[in-house]
Structure 1
């Protein structure tokens, strides 16, 4: 309506000026009749032109309301660009909704497992006549399940905070080797439970927020322990902190998987894995590295070509580096 009014005024006002300019030579009745006729004609022109010009936008509005955008060859370039922007927005919203639905399904599963286990343990502890050693064992299992729940809730809280706000850090000179050694001591029971070789190499210092960076290293190390076949290695290098393992690697790009709502099951090297909170761990690690002025990098070399001859050694070969490598890139790492 406003567009039609603008066209009407643009057409009517110049004619009105001409009419009043010629007023002395025209009778008043003819002047009034001509003014009315010009007004009616300008109104029709405004209505018709506004309908023609706004038809592509009206059609686009209907398509957006229905959620289905189809191109039209008679649309102007501006409307085609607007349709493409709406299509991209709808696609991203659909992808985001799918990811969040998958995440919620996995989250419910991850919460349900320790809760069910805790319920069974509590029932056994309160209803069965158990000797003292078994009661202590059940208590230890209940503590372990509670720790799993708390870790999941903490990751959820971290992911929500890191997604919506910048990570606040307070860097200070830190011994990266000591930080990595502390992480290894924390996760050593998990490595022993899976029979994995967990080792540390390298030395270095850097200005970092030690508690925040330790959280990123723990996330990457726990992911490595989940998927490794036989060994996990933590390294302090001039680039930062590297967490390597001999697992199958990521089932997609790091940019796709290091998202706060990526947790749907994935197929890696022909084997089905339940991602669980792995997507949260990668996302948190990436945001922490970015807060330190660095980033999170992933590398995995291609498998060797079986047609090529293998290397020949005149002395015992050096250990082969573990293929799956995540690097928390940090600036200003010094020996």
Structure 2
């Protein structure tokens, strides 16, 4: 080991202390900055290593550290004369220590002197390069349109560019040679960032960057200030008002978003790409029985292991595809017990368009699911009741009809008994029709439509057959039929007879008994046929008119007439729909009430 190298390491702290004292003696307050003092021990160690290496791989480390020192001093605004002085004083101290140490040869001292000269040269080169870089940056800022001015050590304007004139509203002649603080005295108030930052650059010789608002010009400025040779400062700034306004708008938008997140009545959450919670609002936390702050930074599986199998695939699907996943129902434990939720997941992208978060919206649908289940049970019971009642009544009613028909065929039946049997058969036929209507209602509720078996048929023939039957049952009530165009098509004739019978029975029941019921059959269109049944009478209210084709609704009540259960018009609409057609109703005091059924000529059976 080199004795001089060992002496440098052992007396490193003493070298640093001696050097700092001598620099302060010569420079006073302009002595070495703490950053240099902190790094000087490293430089002394590098000198020791270089002495031992003598051309080896560590020989250049001291020069590298010296170059860093030179660049650092340039940034701090230290002039080259001071830099040379500091290295000369360092050489004096190190040579003194070498001579004071035992066993140190002249060759080691000369080698150390050469290393110090090389280090000083490296520092000077780095100082010069950094100063040139500063000038290049300044030139770039000027080229980019930044405002620029230069102040001497007494705060007097030395240089001003055109952008400074434009932004400040003051010509060069108004500022050059004058004191900055005299021109803008309002900037001297305590706490003003211009005052504080400019003085820091001037006094501490360190560069500074800051944003500041100047109220008289309503201007936000992005300011960069450097110490320059001669003790002054150079200042570059640009109008940052658009950026600041955009930041303010963003802050306001984020505040609104935060308000929505906090007060939304639905659950909201954000997770990152590792499925760790970034945020959860109070509503979702309450559903899950946790505190929002307790889930942040933890994974979904860590917080809700029972839900991981259900929810993780939704989040991962959004991350993989970048597309939302909407309206997924899932069961979930809640603080109040088992529950149901409706979840949607959506991507949140960064400025580059990459998905970096996934948002979740969760709605508690437990009450709705309970209501749906109750409704399902009620409908199921209704269908079972109607189905059982209808089937159980058909057989005894068939026996009644058969017996009544048999009795009516006897020629020797007294007139008094004949009338009684006729009433029995009529009542049994009405009950049979009601059963058929109930069965149709059950089919429509269960399957959504009625079965039809279409085949070629003439609608006019079907309707006239129904009219003939009703003529016999309605006595002297007039039913007028008008035909126009071809009435041929492909339909289920039995279902159309049922439809026409329900419409005509309704018209006869609620129409004025002294006025005819009019039936219009219009086949003039090439692709459809229209059936209209009109009757005169009191108009149907608009409220009821909108519900006429729903089950259990009736068109109205006519004194002295029998009432049905309100399934006839519902079945009319279902038969029309089963053929691909439609049914509608109109009712006014002037034109009476009309039911219109439109049927495409060729219906598909089902």
Range class of TM-score, shorter chain: 0.5 to 0.7
Asked if the contact 2:540/2:556 (under 8 Å) is kept, the reply is no
C-alpha distance in structure 1 between counterparts of 2:577 and 2:300, whole Å: 61
Establish whether residue 281 from structure 1 lines up as the match of residue 563 from structure 2: no
Aligned counterpart for 1:157 among listed residues 432, 439, 443: 439
C-alpha distance in structure 2 between counterparts of 1:12 and 1:219, whole Å: 61
Give the structure 1 partner of residue 422 of structure 2: 140
Alpha-carbon offset, residue 89 of structure 1: 5.9
Equivalent residues in 2 for 1:82-231, closer than 5 Å: 82=365, 93=375, 132-165=414-447, 166-192=449-475, 195-203=476-484, 204-229=487-512, 230-231=515-516
Asked if the contact 1:233/1:244 (under 8 Å) is kept, the reply is yes
Aligned counterpart for 1:297 among listed residues 584, 589, 604: 584
C-alpha distance in structure 2 between counterparts of 1:200 and 1:60, whole Å: 60
C-alpha distance in structure 1 between counterparts of 2:568 and 2:453, whole Å: 21
Q: Using a 3 Å threshold, how does the CA distance of structure 1 residues 209 and 243 change in structure 2: closer, same or farther?
A: same
Give the structure 1 partner of residue 521 of structure 2: 236
Q: Using a 3 Å threshold, how does the CA distance of structure 1 residues 88 and 244 change in structure 2: closer, same or farther?
A: farther
C-alpha distance in structure 1 between counterparts of 2:422 and 2:592, whole Å: 36
Give the structure 1 partner of residue 322 of structure 2: none
C-alpha distance in structure 1 between counterparts of 2:301 and 2:443, whole Å: 58
Structure 2 gaps, min length 5 = 1-286, 303-332, 341-359, 408-412, 524-528
Establish whether residue 330 from structure 1 lines up as the match of residue 599 from structure 2: yes
C-alpha distance in structure 2 between counterparts of 1:237 and 1:324, whole Å: 18
SS at structure 2 position matched to 1:202: strand
Asked if the contact 1:179/1:210 (under 8 Å) is kept, the reply is yes
Establish whether residue 256 from structure 1 lines up as the match of residue 547 from structure 2: yes
Give the structure 1 partner of residue 259 of structure 2: none
Aligned counterpart for 2:537 among listed residues 243, 247, 250: 247
Asked if the contact 1:266/1:275 (under 8 Å) is kept, the reply is no
C-alpha distance in structure 2 between counterparts of 1:151 and 1:13, whole Å: 61
Q: Using a 3 Å threshold, how does the CA distance of structure 1 residues 172 and 228 change in structure 2: closer, same or farther?
A: same
C-alpha distance in structure 2 between counterparts of 1:12 and 1:240, whole Å: 61
Q: RMSD of the alignment, in Å?
A: 4.7
Deviations 1:158-215 (A, max 9, x none): 22122222322222222111111101011112332xx422111114222211111111
C-alpha distance in structure 2 between counterparts of 1:266 and 1:218, whole Å: 15
Alpha-carbon offset, residue 330 of structure 1: 0.6
Q: Using a 3 Å threshold, how does the CA distance of structure 1 residues 266 and 167 change in structure 2: closer, same or farther?
A: closer
SS at structure 2 position matched to 1:10: coil
Asked if the contact 1:243/1:327 (under 8 Å) is kept, the reply is yes
Q: Using a 3 Å threshold, how does the CA distance of structure 1 residues 196 and 88 change in structure 2: closer, same or farther?
A: farther
Equivalent residues in 2 for 1:9-88, closer than 5 Å: 10=298, 78-79=362-363, 82=365
Asked if the contact 2:548/2:569 (under 8 Å) is kept, the reply is yes
Asked if the contact 1:232/1:245 (under 8 Å) is kept, the reply is yes
Alpha-carbon offset, residue 218 of structure 1: 0.7
Q: Using a 3 Å threshold, how does the CA distance of structure 1 residues 83 and 191 change in structure 2: closer, same or farther?
A: same
C-alpha distance in structure 2 between counterparts of 1:197 and 1:295, whole Å: 27
For normalisation by structure 1, the TM-score amounts to 0.54
C-alpha distance in structure 1 between counterparts of 2:301 and 2:372, whole Å: 42
Structure with the bigger RCO (C-alpha within 8 Å, sep 6+) is 1
Asked if the contact 1:224/1:247 (under 8 Å) is kept, the reply is no
SS at structure 2 position matched to 1:330: strand
Aligned length in residues:
229
Structure 1 gaps, min length 5 = 15-52, 62-75, 126-130, 305-321
Deviations 1:40-61 (A, max 9, x none): xxxxxxxxxxxxx956x77999
Asked if the contact 1:248/1:268 (under 8 Å) is kept, the reply is no
C-alpha distance in structure 2 between counterparts of 1:254 and 1:86, whole Å: 32
Give the structure 2 partner of residue 22 of structure 1: none
Asked if the contact 1:169/1:212 (under 8 Å) is kept, the reply is yes
Q: Which has the larger radius of gyration?
A: 2
Deviations 1:259-317 (A, max 9, x none): 23x15x78669x7987522x21111110110011111111124x45xxxxxxxxxxxxx
For normalisation by structure 2, the TM-score amounts to 0.32
Q: Higher helix share goes to which structure? A: 1
C-alpha distance in structure 1 between counterparts of 2:301 and 2:463, whole Å: 79
C-alpha distance in structure 1 between counterparts of 2:555 and 2:361, whole Å: 41
